[in-house]
Amino acid sequence: MQQPLESADTILTQIKQLFEEHGGQLSKKDVKKQHPEIMRSALYYFPSWEHALTKATE
pLDDT value at 1 more than 70: no
Cα torsion 44, 48, 49, 53: sign? negative
Q: What is the DSSP letter of 3?
A: P
The model's pLDDT over 2-38, given as tens digits with 9 standing for 90+, comes to 666 689 999 999 999 999 998 988 999 999 999 999 9
pTM of the model: 0.86
Report the C-alpha gap between 57 and 26 in whole angstroms.
11
SS3 46: coil
CA distance 28 to 26: 7
Q: Where are the domains of the chain?
A: 23-58
